[in-house]
Amino acid sequence: MAIFVKGVIFEGVDTTAPDCWHIDAYMARGGYQALKKILDNKMPQEDVIAEVKNSGLRGRGGAGFPTGLKWSFMPRSFPGDKYVVCNTDEGEPGTFKDRDILLYNPHALIEGMIIAGYAMGCKAGYNYIHGEIFEAYELFEAALDEARKAGFLGQNILGTDFSFDLFAHHGYGAYICGEETALLESLEGKKGQPRFKPPFPASFGLYGKPTTINNTESFASVPFIIRDGGQKFLEAGKPNNGGTKLFSISGHVNRPGNYEIPLGTPFATLLEMAGGMKDGKKLKAVIPGGSSAPVLPGEVMMELTMDYDSIAKAGSMLGSGAVIVMNEDVCMVKALERLAYFYHEESCGQCTPCREGTGWLYKVIHRIANGEGREGDLELLESVGNNMAGRTICALADAAVFPVRSFTKHFRHEFEHLIEHKKSLVDHKWC
Amino acid sequence: MLEIEIDGKKLTVNQGSTVMDAAHAAGTYIPHFCYHKKLSIAANCRMCLVEVEKAPKPLPACATPVTDGMKVYTASPLAKKAQAGVMEFLLINHPLDCPICDQGGECQLQDLAVGYGNSASRYQEEKRVVVGKDMGPLVSAEEMSRCIHCTRCVRFTEEIGGFQEIGMANRSEFSEIMPFLGKTVDSEISGNVIDLCPVGALTSKPFRYSTRAWELSRRKSVSPHDGLGANLIVQVKQNEVMRVLPLENEAINECWLSDRDRFAYEGLNSAERLQKPMIKFDGKWHETDWQTALEYVVKGLNGVSADHGKDAIGFLLSPHSTTEELYLAQKLARAFGVNNVDAALRRSDTRVAKQQQGALWLGSSIVELAASKSILVVGATQRSEQPLLASRLRQSVKKGSQLNVIHVADDELFTSLNAKLIVAPQQLVNALAQVLKAVVTAKAGETAIDLAAANVSAEAQAIADSLCAADSASIVLGNVAQNHPAFSELLALAQEIARLTGARFGIAAAAANTVGADVAGANPVRGAFGQNVTAGLSAAEMLAAPRKAYVLLNNEVEADSYNGQQAVAAMKQAATVIALTAYKGAGLLDYADVLLPIAPFSETAGSFINMEGKLQSFNGVVRPLGETRPAWKVLRVLGNMLSLNGFEQNSCEEVRAELLALGDIAAQLNNGQSVLAANVAAGNGELVRVGDVPLYHADPICRRADSLQQTAAAAVPQLQLNPADAERLGLQDGQAVTVAQGAAEVSLQLRTDAALAQGAARVAAAHPATVALGGLFEPIQIKRG
Amino acid sequence: MLSAESLAKIDRELAKYPADQARSAVMGALRIALTERREKGATPEERCLNSEVIEFVANYIGIAPVAAYEVATFYNMYDMKPVGKHKITVCTNLPCALRGGMNAAEYIGKKLGIHLGETTADGKFTLLEGECMGACGDAPVLLVNNHSMCSFMTPEAIDKKLAELE
Ligand SMILES: Cc1cc2nc3c(=O)[nH]c(=O)nc-3n(C[C@H](O)[C@H](O)[C@H](O)COP(=O)(O)O)c2cc1C
Ligand code: SF4
Ligand code: FES
């Protein structure tokens, strides 16, 4: 459930009101004004892109790439079709913000995608929605119908010569489809196996046509940026880290949920907002950016602010903004074992190092967790990880290795203890 | 052009090349598994990782485009470490039992593991076990634990075969290569996945575990089946052909083989091989020695000649025989005074030979045909006639060529067609005439052919537009056109269209030596290299007006003639039938008197001239079986025994030299027709048979290849009818029907198929179940039950 | 093979994509086919995808059957194995585990007398372990029959849900 603090996307959204997602409610909050502004003023495409650039918006899907810059890569005078694609395949463990956007404020995304379509000269868009959130998919389809009926989608939008249509595509259970080129393959009706880049989607994307892919939150931020100006968005955060950001807090806190707060807010503040540590237990570790981000010890986290640069400096990443909080009862070997299982299970299977390496990592960690670890296993994990990271088509292999490296670095003694004494240093309790 | 450096070696490469291409140009080997020059880039095995200056991590050579000034290190410490890392991953789940693996000794993984791997295994978990799959009678997928997921096989079926028959199911380390549940791999070029598979996962079912790779010797040869002339490596052990592999020839078969080229060798070791001369007397067959048999032949020929004259003798020669054999056979016939010589056994149009001005051929090279921007294929069951040509045209379409088809059935070609005109056999001429008419209008040209009866359909117009607009165009007549009673008309029309559009035109030769037969003089009207001869009867004429004696070279008339029924009747009434054959087939045993065991292509030297007019010579790869002798030798001795001049050759090479001294092959290739009369009136509405030749019944060797005979393509032919025709006849899909031509009736199962033109009744030729029937493109009657 | 209603739904999926890109609809078509089988199937075998349905869908869309099979086996939610009348998937991934995901799975298993991956003898329930469902804040979460997400599944909530599904 989203909890608004000083936000962009959830400003004015009463998530407890059952009809907050409807177009009327959205328009009452100032929705579709940005689109009208563009169309009424016949705003040049470059100006829309420039405004997004000014906002300092960085991709909210994990990599943090500047959105305006990405939009400017789309070939201007391409003769054929071009596409804009939204990534709502939110499957990164710990991340659950995009689902709330679909459930409570879908029109922000729709408006953002229409504006993107306008700015990049696309005539159609697709929103790829995570398999497990079928109800959100159905609701989004209903929202699309509303937008179509209101004349914001389809031919000659609001009587102008701009036409754009938008469709929802439902995934069916594959984490890898969050990777943008796997998502495109999946959208084309194939297995979600990432494509080698180059060529990049901007030149060879959906159906081989120029395509821009952004995260749900990135698109949903756009109406605000256009309506209120990029500068205002930028100021809501801090330099190079413009805007507010949705943080999904999960784990051992009292009030897990989504918090939309300015980038640069101290972690301690965020933890407090989330009601602090559950049962008053001690904070042990935090994964600050989704399961693929390196874990950080609790005390390190308490010193950090929640923005791209600060977290990167500490050796992790802001990623998708999923903050997984763990208390003193968690055996870090067990925690890593569960994550390793996930990557093993979710590898798409095409690259040798990832297909074979994720399985190998899991089996060794599993062994250690079960008290069957051997001397040299930590070196083996490191070496196998080194042979995987940076050797594959997409970053899933890296994502599988980061937790292994960081868990064994920051909590090495727990692993060593388990290998040596065949039992955990911690009296492990999941919750 | 870009300047780059690979391992310190400077070179210039084209824009758009990959590092792998560049390394290839520089002669530098980069280890790889998934990369294959003919397949799309997958970049999934990661074996080809190399160091590129300024790149933070190693890059896959196969997928990384070259940039100007790039410096690549293929064996730097970083590259080697990456390669060794990948090799370790490939091996952790791969069985390490090379000594019992069928691929042992010719395994890329085994080879590269030695050069690029580490010795000790750090993987101590249990190895993955993957259950075997059934891909059909040709490709074994029993050992799928060995698969390294390079997806070459998947990409092959989809990209080259045109239809994805193999997939990679599941994901992560549970990924498995498999055909669709319960389906086999039925592509006519499926065997190539065996070559593509870098490990022992996909292997040859017929060859499996028969021998070890290093016990085989490799000999070059040429495929004796279709007119493409695929180059072969024949592998031999203890005087037996054990396996056939492709010999790469970019201009002909590229690196592929059709399954017919690859697996037909089983027929060479068939139990039906004739190993000793045999003579039939007192109604029984007796094995005998060569001398006796040849004397019997001489006596027979002299006898018939004395009693009935030379014209009572006919020579029916196979277009699958070598050029040397055909040359000597026609020389023998003519020296003896017999003019009835022909190798166009399935041709029904007797006018063609009389009008032709040279050897009929493709009209261009295979490469030129494939590069044509517009291609019109007339009367061809492409995928069974020349499977690799069909695949090549599919690639042409991918590269932007327009493929147009005029045919009797809308057969699945697994490619997109620009336009197609699907008509009953009796409408083929009219269909092509429509195209000519549209061309005449478009080009404001003239033609001597009366086109009044041709009404240009939209499809014909589209075909004509395509041919007219293209800066290079080709018209090809397939086997159905060549065997059709109106072949002359089709040739004449093609010639006119070609004249007006600037297109090339020609025939896709059915057999390995169709072109060679014409060059060598195995033709009733033209001698070797077009020498003037006294005209004799064509094959169809020799059978329509039966002779007293027949000499058969390498053919079985019931399956290899236009009209099997008529052919067998002709044989049976003859005083003597002398067969030079590698097999004692049931037909020959029934109607022949003498069987002389001659060597198939694998046991003799010889040469074939392929559809593009290229002469390809080869040597025997094994010694002749039993008392088998090369046919050229048998013919030479017969010449001596008949006291004829000019039979002193001591080797096959001498025969070839004698023939080739007569002229220049290229100058012989000529599709010109002197007569342009053509009755273009559309035929009537009666049902006409489409007697096309099934994939694995085209010649005596493949008819005896056991594994090929177990494929779906070799199944008993069905009667195929357009559903509208079936309805009109009150017949239902799947029901048993009796089809009749002339005196013969055979019962078949009916399959309705909307792909078939109305008025066409497809009953395939050359299969034991249908050989009793009559002409391949003649009216046919259908009865219930 | 499929009802007119399902075919109409598939046609609606097809309409989302360019005419020459029908393949894009295969995921939706397989989902629709599976849903129909789940709703109509009387036995666990009849509730999952089999080769006939996959081939039918492939032919309907105009792609190779093996290509549709690749899709059906790549994505987790397509049931390729026999499945109970109610399929319950529990997320046990780390964020959920930290808030009772594992306990919920265990609780349901005990209650139904089955282990993860199994189906009750009466064919009513199948219990599966799932990966991240993008709802970690609502843990423990279950997905019932692929399409209905249940949040904050305490033992009491689970009891209630199971009773509803009886
Ligand atoms: C393994 C993997 C999983 C990913 N999962 C997601 C995801 O669930 N949602 C998402 O928006 N981006 C995900 N990404 C990042 C996308 O590839 C892509 O960078 C992003 O959608 C771009 O949008 P943005 O620029 O707006 O962030 C993933 C990347 C990888 C390598
Ligand atoms: S790294 Fe893994 S998930 Fe990514 S493309 Fe390669 S095999 Fe697939
Ligand atoms: S050959 Fe380049 S990744 Fe396989």
- 3-state secondary structure at position A286: strand
- Entry field: residues in chain A: 431
Whether pLDDT at A4 is above 60 = no
Q: Give the span between the Cα atoms of B606 and B323, in whole angstroms.
A: 7
Q: Is the pLDDT of residue A6 over 80?
A: no
Predicted complex ipTM: 0.96
Helix (H, G, I), strand (E, B), or coil: what is residue B468? helix
Q: What DSSP assignment string belongs to B552-588?
A: EES--HHHHSSBHHHHHHHHHHSSEEEEEESB--HHH
CA distance B662 to A340: 77
Mean residue pLDDT across chain A: 96
Q: Which of residues 98-157 of C touch B (CB under 8 A)?
A: none
For the cut 70, the answer to whether the pLDDT of residue A3 exceeds it is no
Q: Is the pLDDT of residue C9 over 70?
A: yes
| DSSP string across A76-101 | TT-SS--EEEEEE---STT--HHHHH
Strands (DSSP E) found in A263-369: 265-266, 283-287, 296-297, 305-306, 322-327
pLDDT of residue B211: 86
Instruction: Check if A59 has its Cβ closer than 6 Å to any atom of ligand 1.
Output: yes
Ligand number nearest CA of B61 is 3
DSSP characters over A141-210: HHHHHHHHHTTSSBSSGGGSS--BEEEEEE--S-GGGGSHHHHHHHHTTS---PPPSSSPTTTS-GGGS-
pLDDT at B114 over 90: no
Query: Which of the other chains make 3 or more beta carbon contacts under 8 angstroms with chain B?
Result: A, C
Q: Which of B44, B90, B149 to probe ligand 2 with, by most ligand atoms within 8 A of CB?
A: B44
Any idea what DSSP says for residue B253?
T
CB B575 within 8 A of CB B594: no
What are the helix (H) ranges across chain C? 4-14, 26-40, 51-61, 65-74, 94-97, 101-112, 155-165
Q: Please indicate whether residue A73, judged by its CB atom, sits closer than 6 Å to ligand 1.
A: no
Averaged pLDDT for residues A273-285: 97
The Cα–Cα gap between B279 and B292 comes to 9
Confidence of residue B91 (pLDDT cuts 50, 70, 90): very high
Q: Do the Cβ atoms of C75 and A1 come within 8 Å?
A: no
User: Of B535, B536, B556, B554, which Cα lies nearest the Cα of B545?
Assistant: B536
Distance of alpha carbon A256 from alpha carbon B596, whole angstroms: 91
Touching partners of C (3+ C-beta pairs < 8 Å) = A, B
Note the pLDDT of residue B210.
Answer: 84
Phi, psi of A7 (to 5 degrees): -110, 180
For residue A1, pLDDT over 90 is answered with: no
Size of interface B-C (CB pairs under 8 A): 37
Instruction: Return the percent helix, strand and coil in chain B, to nearest 5.
Output: 35, 20, 45
A177, A292, A388, A392: residue to mutate for ligand 2 pocket, most atoms within 8 A of CB: A392
Q: Which residues in chain C are contacts of A94 at CB distance < 8 A? A: 94-95, 132, 136
Contact yes or no for C74 and B169 at CB 8 A: yes
- Which pLDDT band, with edges at 50, 70 and 90, does B213 fall under? confident
pLDDT digits (tens, 9 = 90+) for B137-180: 999 999 999 999 999 999 999 999 999 999 999 999 999 999 99
pTM for the model: 0.96
3 state SS of B4: strand
Instruction: Give the residue-averaged pLDDT of B316-338.
Output: 98
Q: How far apart are CA A410 and CA A417, in angstroms?
A: 14
Of B57, B85, B122, the CB nearest to A380: B122
Q: What is the mean pLDDT of residues B202-215?
A: 90
Task: Say if residue B683's pLDDT is above 90.
Answer: no
- Please say if the pLDDT value at position B701 is more than 60: yes
The Cα B208–Cα A224 span in angstroms is 68
Residue A158: how many other CB atoms lie within 10 Å:
14
Query: Ligand 2 centroid vs A61 CA: distance in angstroms?
Result: 18
DSSP symbol at C158: H
| Mean pLDDT value of segment A308-329 | 96
Say whether residue B171 is in contact with chain C using an 8 A CB cutoff.
yes
Instruction: Decide if C78 touches B, using CB distance below 8 A.
Output: no
Nearest to B422 by CA among B785, B23, B758: B758
C interface mutation test: which of B163, B177, B180, B414 has the most C CBs within 10 A?
Answer: B180
- Segment B436-492, tens digit of pLDDT: 999 999 999 999 999 999 999 999 999 999 999 999 999 999 999 999 999 999 999
* A279 phi, psi to nearest 5 deg: 55, 20
Q: Which residues of C touch B166 (CB under 8 A)?
A: 66
* Residue B462: its H or E element: helix B458-469
pLDDT at B108 over 60: yes
Please, which residues 111-140 of chain A have a Cβ atom closer than 8 Å to chain B? Answer: none
> What ligand is nearest to the CA atom of residue A59?
1
Mean pLDDT of A278-306: 97
Cβ contact C66–B170 (<8 Å): no
| B748-764 per-position pLDDT tens digit | 999 999 999 999 999 99
Q: How confident is the model at residue B119 (pLDDT cuts 50, 70, 90)?
A: low
pLDDT tens digits along A218-229: 999 999 999 999
Please determine, for residue B703, whether its predicted confidence score (pLDDT) is greater than 60: yes
Report the distance separating Cα A40 and Cα C34, nearest Å.
46
Instruction: Note whether B604 and B560 are within 8 A (CB).
Output: no
Residue B297 β-bridge partners: none
Interface of chain B toward chain A, CB-CB under 8 angstroms: 41-47, 49, 56-58, 60, 63, 65, 82, 85-86, 88-90, 92-93, 122-123, 125, 148-149, 151, 168, 170-175
Q: What percent of chain A has pLDDT over 90?
A: 94
* Distance, C-alpha B384 to centroid of its chain: 7
A348 Cβ below 6 A of ligand 2: yes
Judged by CB atoms closer than 8 Å, whether chains meet at B169 and C54 is answered as: no
Rg of the Cα trace of chain B?
28
The Cα B88–Cα B148 span in angstroms is 12
Q: Which residues of chain C does A134 touch, with a Cβ-Cβ cutoff of 8 Å?
A: 146-149
B457 contacts chain C (CB < 8 A): no
What does the mean pLDDT of chain B come to? 96
Kindly compute the dihedral angle of the four CA atoms of residues A18, A21, A25, A27, in this order, to the nearest 10 degrees: 180
Task: Give per-residue burial for C89-128: e unless 16+ CB within 10 Å, then b.
Answer: bbbbbbbbbbbbbbbbbebbbeebebeeeebbeebebbbb
Residue B136's alpha-carbon distances to B133, B162, B710, C63, in angstroms, are: 9, 18, 9, 21
- What is the Cα C128 distance to its own chain's centre? 10
- The predicted structure's pLDDT at residue A109: 98
What are the beta bridge partners of residue A166? A125
Residue A5 has pLDDT above 80, yes or no: no
In the block, which residue shows the tokens 């994509």?
C17
Report which bound ligand comes closest to the CA of B168: 2
Q: Is the pLDDT of residue A38 over 70?
A: yes
Enumerate residues 6+ apart whose C-beta is below 8 A from A85. A125, A126, A127, A128, A180, A183, A184, A187, A205, A206, A211, A212, A213, A214
- The position carrying tokens 């089996």 is A363
pLDDT tens by residue, B32-56: 999 999 999 999 999 999 999 999 9
Phi-psi label, residue B576: left if phi above 0, alpha if psi -120 to 50, beta otherwise: beta
pLDDT at position A2 over 60: no
The answer to whether A216 faces chain C, any CB pair under 8 Å, is no
Number of neighbours of residue A232 by Cβ within 10 angstroms: 16
Cβ–Cβ contacts within 10 Å for residue B727, how many? 12
B58 and B51 Cβ atoms separated by less than 8 Å: yes
**Which of C25, C71, C103 has its CB closest to that of A191?**
C71
Task: Dump pLDDT digits (tens) for C85-115.
Answer: 999 999 999 999 999 999 999 999 999 999 9
Apex CA B477: angle with CA B476 and CA B478, to 5°?
A: 115
Three-point CA angle A335, A340, A343, nearest 5° = 135
Confidence band, pLDDT 50/70/90 cuts, at residue B214 = confident
Measure A176 CA to ligand 2 centroid, in angstroms. Answer: 8
Contact call for A387 and B88, based on CB within 8 A: yes
Which residue owns the Cα nearest ligand 2 atom 4? A394
Q: Long-range CB contacts (< 8 A, 24+ apart) of C32-36?
A: C32/C2, C32/C6, C33/C2, C33/C6, C33/C57, C34/C78, C34/C79, C34/C146, C35/C6, C35/C146, C35/C147, C36/C2, C36/C3, C36/C5, C36/C6
Is ligand 2 within 6 A of the CB of residue A392? yes
* Alpha-carbon dihedral C16, C17, C23, C27, rounded to 10 degrees: -30
Average pLDDT over residues A263-280: 96
Tell me how crowded residue B233 is: count the other CB atoms within 10 A of its CB: 17
* Six-digit token string for C162: 């199971």
What percent of chain C is predicted at pLDDT more than 90?
Answer: 99
CA of A393, nearest ligand number: 2
DSSP string, B716-743: PP-EEE-HHHHHHTT--TT-EEEEEETT
Q: What is the pLDDT of residues B503-557, one digit of tens each?
A: 999 999 999 999 999 999 999 999 999 999 999 999 999 999 999 999 999 999 9
Question: How many contiguous H segments (helices) and E segments (strands) does chain B have?
Answer: 26, 33
List of residues 6+ apart from A233 with CB closer than 8 A:
A8, A55, A56, A57, A221, A224, A225, A242, A243
- Residue A184 CB neighbours (<10 A): 26
